């Protein structure tokens, strides 16, 4: 099994009573894809985790599938991150630099037109962009994935 390189993203806390919309606003993103604007909302995604989160940024440096990412996270004793983890990491001022890479949270998904889409964010046109992308297929070598480590 290929283990990813891990960077810890300290200090992330999901506020009690958060909603997807409030977390998107806190992230102050420069743009969103049409799909994110239409389907990345409180109706399709629910905030289920609160409090401090031990977030880990995993980089495999090879093409991987979402299923492989989930297996490796579990084998390492971690969980794949949820949408609220992604949004809170994106809103954290010390972690915005990582958004030069596409960062994915495969632990949350929405079904749109019979396909599963997961939330992600990245740098695009000199700004921070929020998107949803297909869960299926292969992720490129440059992509990063959020894990939640045991506290």
- Predicted confidence at residue 79, as pLDDT, reads 97
Report the alpha-carbon distance of residue 126 to residue 21 in Å, rounded: 23
Q: Which residues of the chain have pLDDT under 70?
A: 151
**Model confidence over 53-70: pLDDT tens digits?**
999 999 999 999 999 999
User: Tokens 């995604």 identify what position?
Assistant: 45
Report the alpha-carbon distance of residue 36 to residue 41 in Å, rounded: 8
Domain ranges within the chain, ordered by starting residue: 5-149
CATH number for the domain whose boundaries are 5-149 = 3.10.100
Report the alpha-carbon distance of residue 68 to residue 64 in Å, rounded: 6
Q: What is the pTM of this model?
A: 0.94
């Amino acid at each position: 099994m290929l283990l990813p390189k891990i960077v810890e993203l300290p200090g992330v806390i999901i506020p009690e009573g958060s909603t997807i919309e409030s977390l998107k606003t806190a992230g102050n993103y420069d743009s969103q894809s049409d799909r994110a604007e239409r389907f990345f909302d409180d109706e399709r995604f629910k905030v289920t985790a609160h409090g401090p989160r031990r977030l880990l940024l995993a980089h495999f440096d090879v093409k991987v599938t979402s299923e492989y990412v989930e297996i490796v996270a579990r084998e390492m004793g971690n969980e794949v991150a949820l949408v609220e983890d992604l949004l809170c990491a994106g809103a954290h001022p010390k972690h915005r630099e990582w958004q030069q890479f596409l960062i994915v949270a495969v632990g949350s998904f929405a079904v749109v037109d019979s396909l599963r889409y997961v939330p992600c964010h990245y740098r695009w046109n000199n700004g921070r962009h929020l998107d949803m992308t297909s869960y299926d297929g292969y992720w490129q070598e440059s992509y990063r994935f959020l894990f939640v480590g045991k506290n």
